[in-house]
Chains A and B, each alone.
Chain A
Amino acid sequence: MGLLARAPAKALDEVWTAFGEEPAFTWLRPPETGGVMVRGRMGGTGAAFNLGEMTVTRCALRLADGGAVGHAYVQGRDKAKARQAALVDAVMQTERAEDCRERVLTPLAAQMEAARRARAARAAATRVEFFTMVRGED
């Protein structure tokens, strides 16, 4: 669910569309956009405080075939993305799970890992060592 929550809508749409025709389903909770209060900790490790909200879209559905229930909580306001994420969650509980993992989740994870590495590689190139040249003690 974390992967689907973070995935860019376009990337999820591409792999999900390529996975085949969308299975029939009924809504248990149609997509709804709301705010989640993001909390931080004082000093990074201390007591919690409220930092600010983020937009989140959630939904729940049941597959017509087999009745598997899928939930989604995805970042942002994209209702189509929430629907697709919930469908993936539901399909992952059916016999198509392995296929879905291979063709939807794994490529998504790879794409996001590549994006993360690209940033980390740029950050690594900006690592510095400061040398103390002269101490002003005179």
Chain B
Amino acid sequence: MYVAVKGGERAIDNAHAWLAEERRGDPSVAELSVAQIREQLALAVNRVMAEGSLYDPDLAALAIKQARGDLIEAIFLIRAYRTTLPRLGASEPVDTGAMACDRRISATFKDAPGGQVLGPTFDYTHRLLDFMLAAGAEIAEAPQAEPRTAPMPRITDFLDRDGLIQPEAPSDEVPPDLTRAPLDFPANRALRLQSLARGDEGFVLGMAYSTQRGYGRNHPFVGELRVGCVAVEMEIPELGFAVEIGEVVLTECETVNQFAGSKTEPPQFTRGYGLAFGHSERKAISMALVDRALRWEELGEDDMGAPAQDAEFVLSHADNIQASGFLEHIKLPHYVDFQSELELVRRIRAEAAEAGTREAAE
């Protein structure tokens, strides 16, 4: 039973005033601007955009500032904001094959056509704290080379051409949208991918890791990981044709996984797919592994009872805003509820004590 309480307005106002002061921190230290967060904490901004499910770097940076760096709180702010936006439409599916790649690597093909492009990566760094950064050292300009203009072919296309990997049938069917209709089970792959794309990075990572450790193992290789800018096109009703309405940075991961085959079909590699806003590699790879694990049924695999195979379990718990909303509400006033429980416990104890005395007397 829910019981409303009232009062506390002044204390709440004062708490929020103090929050604003604490957010600012020591006033003798220069204040962070939203542009500084957008430019210099770009990966935090990317995570807030991916899980906030709204691509707008300035808004994500503002949310991070307002949330004092609490990324889940920032994601909450973005989710709340996005509900106020009228939906102008849906884009054409983006063509990640035409991506202007900052980074493109394959762990399966050493001599990938188009080459391995490392991009601005943490890989191969020594993970030693760089005290020069604290000292504010000048940064040398990054070396440049002759840019390549040819599009980067998709690694899985090579396997696909030889029939060695399960094909992805193109379709222009309108996908279900969990922001418009509540998540319902069984969830098809489009719905699962949408849910994973906005799911908590830590949760999706944990689920993906569990498959690697043996709970629904599916032997993934990173066929390809690419990061870069893609154009977004949308059909404009008043014009009657599709125009580019912007561009977004995306991270895409395609995994190549162990075979499926049957009496009628020769063995083939299978796929997992991850796509996330911004430069979000850990998220995209995790998403691909979990996507693959959730496909067990359509690929004719056994239900091993692994958590990552259970769509209802994974998708119902992947959203950090739903999760933290339900989790954190229990810290808000529950005095009346608790009083009734306390009353109940006291009564049970009194009855038990009375029964005990009666037995002793008998």
Contact = CB atoms under 8 A, between A and B. Distances in A.
Interface in B162-180: 168-179
B94 A38 contact: yes
A48 interface: yes
B189 to A, nearest CB: 6
Contacts of B88: 32, 34-36, 56, 58, 73
Interface string B72-99: 0000000000100111111111101100
Contact of A119 (B96, B100, B250): B100
Contacts of B143: 122, 125
Nearest to B166: A43
A35 B172 CA distance: 21
Contact of B85 (A34, A117, A118, A125): A34
Contacts of A121: 144-147
A42 B313 CA distance: 22
Most chain A CB atoms below 10 A, which of B49, B93, B239: B93
B173 A48 contact: yes
The B contact surface, by secondary structure, is mixed
B275 A51 contact: yes
Contact of B55 (A55, A118, A127, A130): A55
A83 interface: no
B206 interface: no
Contacts of A39: 90-94, 175
A51 B275 CA distance: 8
B204 to A, nearest CB: 14
Interface string A102-130: 00000000000000111111111111111
Interface stretch (B116-124, B131-139, B335-343, B345-353): B116-124
A110 to B, nearest CB: 16
Contacts of A91: none
Contacts of A132: 110
Contacts of B65: none
A47 B197 contact: no
Given A75-B245, A123-B119, A52 B193 contact: no
Interface string B55-79: 1101100000000000000000000
Contacts of A48: 93, 171-175, 190
Contacts of A127: 115-118, 145
A54 to B, nearest CB: 4
B42 interface: no
A38 B55 contact: yes
A1 B233 CA distance: 11
A15 B104 CA distance: 35
Given A52-B197, A116-B100, A125-B144, A41 B168 contact: yes
Contacts of A41: 93-94, 96, 168, 170
Nearest to B196: A49
B271 interface: yes
Contact of B56 (A2, A32, A54): A54
Most chain A CB atoms below 10 A, which of B90, B101, B170, B245: B245
A71 B239 contact: yes
Interface of B: 49-50, 53-56, 58-59, 82, 85-94, 96-97, 100-103, 110, 115-120, 142-149, 154, 156, 168-179, 189-191, 193-194, 197-198, 231-234, 236, 238-239, 243-248, 250, 252, 254, 271, 273, 275, 277
Interface of A: 1-3, 5-6, 32-56, 58, 60, 71, 73-77, 116-130, 132
17 contacts: A37-B87, A38-B55, A39-B91, A39-B175, A44-B168, A47-B169, A47-B170, A49-B189, A49-B193, A50-B90, A51-B250, A52-B54, A53-B179, A55-B85, A73-B234, A76-B246, A125-B143
